Amino acid sequence: MVGVLRKLARSIGFDIARYPGAASHWPRLTGMLDRHAITLVLDVGANIGQYADALRNNGYEGRIVSFEPLSAAHAELTANADLDPEWQVAPRCAIGAAAGETTLNISPESDMSSLLPLTEDAAEKFASVRPTGSETVAVTTLAAEIPRYASANDKIFVKSDTQGYEAQVLDGLAGAVERVVGLQLELSLVPIYQGQPDYLTVLNRVADLGFTPHLIVPGYFSRQHKQMIEFDVVCFRGGAS
State whether residue 53 is helix, strand or coil: helix
Q: What is the pLDDT of residues 35-86, one digit of tens each?
A: 999 999 999 999 999 999 999 999 999 999 999 999 999 999 999 999 999 9
Q: How far is CA 179 from the centre of its chain?
A: 18
For the whole model, what pTM was predicted?
A: 0.84
Q: What is the pLDDT of residues 137-159, one digit of tens each?
A: 999 999 999 999 999 999 999 99
Domains plus CATH for the chain? 25-237 (3.40.50.150)
State how far the Cα of 36 lies from the Cα of 236, in Å rounded to an integer.
Answer: 8
